[in-house]
Amino acid sequence: MSHVPTAGPLAGKRVLVSAGPTYEDIDPVRFVGNRSSGKMGFAVAAAARDAGAEVVLVAGPVHMDTPAGVSRIDVRSAAQMHAAVLGALPADVYVGAAAVADFTPRRVSEHKIKKTAGTDTLVLELVRTPDILADVSAHPQRPALVVGFAAETHDVARYARGKLVAKRLDLIAANLVGGAEGGFERDDNALAVYWDGGERPLGPASKHEVAAQLVDLIAGRLPA
């Protein structure tokens, strides 16, 4: 879609979206990453634009075209994504759709790590990355609506509701990784969205349709 609407349920609102994986460098040629395609976050950015919002999209390393009318900031690591997202505040809505690495190598080796004769193992020391979502939620310029994603393999409702409380979110959208529906590299998706006192299933449908439904839900829960 190439037209950029200025009317709609999110007209006048600024929506910040993070999408894609992060890559955590080990040495000049290797990194720790994950299989997030960025499709869901990019679809949310396009849907928010279609709803009339000004959209800023912070993208990890993905092969995706920028939706027309969306401002994109490219990053690589969790630390860079953290800085870019916090630097893009204030916003009315933050949607954390990125699959942020939870751990990063304690240090990046300046030179390519070599195989050493007689050694069969390599120990990589990893340290926690900053929790972008929790930091946005605790920020003095906290958006009115902070939305997280949860990729769970089991006990989806319990873990998603736990994250809603722990990270002080307004909404959490859970998808079942590896199930028949939803997943990292697919074009379609099904979400279960939870908030304090409610829940709603979205899809299964294309990621674009699910994103439009999520944006409708966000617009409906945004204080006037």
Q: Which of 142, 168, 150 is nearest to 96 (CA)?
A: 150
Q: Output 15 or 69, the one with its CB closest to ligand C5P.
A: 15
Q: Output 52 or 172, the one with its CB closest to ligand C5P.
A: 172
CB of 136 to ligand C5P, least distance (A): 7
Exposed/middle/buried for 56, CB within 10 Å: 0-12, 13-18, 19+? buried
CB of 77 to ligand C5P, least distance (A): 11
How many other C-beta atoms can be found within 10 angstroms of the C-beta atom of residue 183? 19
What does residue 174 show for φ and ψ, rounded to 5 degrees? -105, 135
The residues binding ligand C5P (CB under 6 A) are 18, 78, 96, 98, 100, 102, 129, 131-133, 148-150, 163
Side-chain-facing half-sphere of 222: CA atoms under 13 Å: 26
Name the catalytic one among 9, 30, 32, 34: 34
CB of 177 to ligand C5P, least distance (A): 10
Q: CB neighbours of 183 closer than 8 A, spacing ≥ 6?
A: 175, 177, 189
Q: Determine the residue with CB nearest ligand C5P.
A: 132
Distance, in Å, from the CA atom of 44 to the CA atom of 36, rounded to the nearest integer, reads 15
Exposed/middle/buried for 126, CB within 10 Å: 0-12, 13-18, 19+? middle
CA 185, 89, 195: angle at the middle one, nearest 5?
A: 60
Residue 32 three-state SS:
strand
Q: CB neighbours of 137 closer than 8 A, spacing ≥ 6?
A: 146, 167, 168, 169
34 is catalytic: yes
Q: Output 14 or 82, the one with its CB closest to ligand C5P.
A: 82
CB of 76 to ligand C5P, least distance (A): 14
CB of 13 to ligand C5P, least distance (A): 20
Q: Output 4 or 32, the one with its CB closest to ligand C5P.
A: 32
**Positions marked catalytic:** 34
